[in-house]
């Protein structure tokens, strides 16, 4: 009898804990952007069990015993995705001071700082990021892989990350980590272990090395860039044969390829080689954009990056100011052309060029250049999920998807800056934020619920 009652007690305990784990959480709000429809759904209800959405729609009945979180006059949305971040880095302050820090701080300290970037990003509503490059001059550490794994294991709080490890590029190109420093300062010329590769065979070796060390996606620089000292912003930096090797080797290993590219010629060659997305694309002409449309290549415009640099020009050396000005002058027309031609546009910001956590400011820049608010929201949800190859799991609010759900006040289709005031974040069915953010002083921001800027 005694034994039986003990067993009963044990079963009861199991029963109770199973019930708690299976308890539904119901999110209610005045409206919802579901990632699929062109119009917002009114009287929105999203039902979550464990890490999944079990139903989403208008006026759905509340399951018995469910915990209800009523967010009131707000809009639910799939968690935002930023397809272009650098969570392990921060280029947002004075350029030369940053270069000093790069050689001054040890990589462990930079990794600890990155944990705050990760938290600021997810608390801003970005539950997934494609993190496109993480390198530390003179170091072989893979901080982005460590960050991704620690988030996945629940050691730290941050967005789901797809990481690129070191960007691949040519000697002296945009990704050469020793460019601008005295020759031999770091004791050797960088090689494929730093992402620096010349010739198709070395490019293949770099791709294999990165996948071996945990890359989910391959990033390469095919043209010059703004924040690099030894190149012109729009010159091609990989040959067509090198680009073909890059794409072939990456796709063979089932990894997508994102390429940093401002110049038109380099973009043309990269699209022809079959890359999955062009990052920035500032100088792309109509013929190149037409080719993107035909091949289904995504454009990730990163409007925030140029916007930030142009607003803080005094932080950069004169040579970089000139490059930033020419890229900024070209990119608005390029973006309008891309919209007109129906190029697939993904949402990506280049966070690190500006302080982490301000990613949502990209929405207003897109809308100001003619994108509809719903299309802008779709770019950061369903479209980015497609580009990242994770559309089966995230990007829309519907049955079977992972429960990445955020809420913003009011109606983002009448005021897109509502995206900058996210007030609720759930990732994988766990509430990460409800109310004020926990990270203070990481980001300068105009939003009233974030602390005053520190630096």
Contact 384, 132 (CB under 8 A): no
Ramachandran region of residue 183, left (φ > 0), alpha (ψ -120 to 50) or beta? beta
**Shortest Å, Cβ 440 to Zn ion:** 26
Please classify residue 7 by burial: count the beta carbons closer than 10 Å to its beta carbon, then call 0-12 exposed, 13-18 middle and 19+ buried: exposed
**Shortest Å, Cβ 353 to Zn ion:** 7
The gap between the terminal CA atoms of the chain, to the nearest Å, is: 69
**Shortest Å, Cβ 86 to Zn ion:** 6
Q: Which is nearer to Zn ion, 123 or 350 (CB)?
A: 350
**Shortest Å, Cβ 128 to Zn ion:** 17
**Contact region with Zn ion (CB under 5 A), list: 113-121, 151-159, 343-351, 430-438:** 343-351
**Contact region with Zn ion (CB under 5 A), list: 314-322, 350-358, 416-424, 446-454:** 350-358
**Shortest Å, Cβ 267 to Zn ion:** 16
Euclidean distance between CA atoms 93 and 312, whole angstroms: 9
What's the DSSP call for residue 169? B
For tokens 């052309």, the residue is 337
Q: Which is nearer to Zn ion, 88 or 413 (CB)?
A: 88
**What DSSP line would sit under 99-160, residue for residue?**
HHHHHHS-HHHHHHHHHHHHHHHHHTTEEEEEE-----TT----HHHHHHHHHHTTSS---E
Contact 197, 176 (CB under 8 A): no
Q: Which is nearer to Zn ion, 33 or 316 (CB)?
A: 316
Pick one of 350, 362, 384, 428: the residue that binds Zn ion (CB under 5 A). Answer: 350
Q: Which is nearer to Zn ion, 231 or 350 (CB)?
A: 350
Q: Which is nearer to Zn ion, 164 or 360 (CB)?
A: 164
What's the DSSP call for residue 395? S
Euclidean distance between CA atoms 441 and 422, whole angstroms: 17
When CB distances to Zn ion are compared, the closest residue is 350
Beta bridge partners of 434: 424
Contact 243, 237 (CB under 8 A): no
**Contact region with Zn ion (CB under 5 A), list: 10-18, 213-221, 349-357, 405-413:** 349-357
**Contact region with Zn ion (CB under 5 A), list: 94-102, 290-298, 307-315, 347-355:** 347-355
Q: Is 210 in the site for Zn ion (CB under 5 A)?
A: no
Contact 441, 451 (CB under 8 A): yes
**Shortest Å, Cβ 316 to Zn ion:** 16
Q: Which is nearer to Zn ion, 56 or 266 (CB)?
A: 266
Q: Which is nearer to Zn ion, 160 or 174 (CB)?
A: 174
Strand order of the β-sheet with 217-221 is 217-221, 256-261, 277-280, 298-300
Q: Which is nearer to Zn ion, 130 or 421 (CB)?
A: 130
Q: Which is nearer to Zn ion, 176 or 350 (CB)?
A: 350
List of residues 6+ apart from 9 with CB closer than 8 A:
none
Residues in contact with Zn ion, counted by CB under 5 A, come to a total of: 1
**Shortest Å, Cβ 297 to Zn ion:** 18
**Shortest Å, Cβ 135 to Zn ion:** 12
Paired tokens of 226: 């703004």
Strands 41-49, 24-32: pairing kind = antiparallel
**Shortest Å, Cβ 321 to Zn ion:** 19
Q: Which residues bind to Zn ion, rule: CB under 5 A? A: 350
């Amino acid at each position: 009898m005694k034994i039986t009652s003990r067993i009963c007690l044990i079963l009861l305990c199991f029963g109770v804990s199973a019930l708690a784990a299976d308890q539904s959480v119901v999110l209610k709000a005045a409206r919802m952007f579901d990632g699929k429809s062109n119009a917002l759904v009114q009287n929105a209800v999203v039902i979550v069990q464990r890490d999944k959405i079990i139903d989403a729609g208008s006026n759905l009945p509340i399951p018995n015993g469910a915990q209800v979180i009523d967010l009131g006059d707000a809009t639910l949305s799939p968690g935002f995705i930023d397809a272009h971040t650098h969570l392990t880095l921060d280029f947002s302050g004075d350029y030369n001071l940053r270069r000093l820090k790069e050689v001054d701080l040890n990589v462990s300290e930079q990794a600890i700082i990155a944990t705050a970037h990760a938290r600021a990003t997810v608390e801003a509503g970005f539950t997934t990021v494609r993190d496109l490059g993480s390198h530390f001059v003179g170091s072989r550490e893979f901080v982005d892989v460590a960050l991704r794994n620690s988030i996945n294991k629940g050691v730290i709080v941050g967005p789901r990350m797809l990481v690129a490890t070191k960007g691949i590029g040519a000697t002296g190109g945009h990704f050469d980590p020793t460019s601008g420093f005295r020759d031999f300062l770091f004791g050797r010329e960088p090689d494929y272990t730093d992402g620096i590769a010349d010739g198709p065979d070395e490019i293949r070796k770099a791709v294999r090395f990165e996948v071996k060390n945990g890359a989910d996606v391959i990033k390469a620089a095919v043209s010059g860039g703004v924040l690099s000292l030894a190149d012109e912003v729009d010159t091609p930096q990989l040959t067509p044969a090198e680009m073909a090797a890059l794409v072939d080797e990456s796709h063979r290993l089932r990894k997508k390829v994102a390429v940093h590219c401002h110049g038109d010629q380099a973009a043309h060659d990269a699209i022809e080689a079959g890359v999955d997305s062009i990052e920035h694309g500032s100088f792309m002409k109509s013929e190149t954009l037409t080719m993107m449309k035909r091949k289904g290549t995504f454009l990730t415009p990163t409007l925030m990056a140029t916007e930030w640099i142009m607003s803080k020009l005094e932080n950069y050396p004169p040579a970089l100011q000139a490059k930033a000005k020419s890229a900024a002058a070209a990119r608005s027309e390029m973006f309008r052309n891309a919209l007109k031609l129906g190029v697939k546009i993904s949402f990506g910001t280049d966070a690190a060029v500006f302080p982490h956590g301000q990613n949502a400011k990209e929405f207003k820049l897109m809308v100001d250049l003619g994108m509809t608010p719903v299309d802008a929201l779709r770019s950061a949800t369903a479209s980015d999920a497609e580009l990242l190859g994770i559309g089966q799991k995230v990007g829309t609010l519907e049955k079977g998807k992972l429960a990445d759900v955020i809420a913003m006040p009011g109606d983002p289709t009448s005021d897109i800056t509502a995206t900058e005031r996210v007030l609720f974040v759930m990732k994988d069915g766990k509430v990460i934020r409800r109310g004020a953010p926990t990270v203070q002083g990481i980001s300068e921001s105009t939003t009233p619920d974030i602390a005053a800027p520190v630096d």
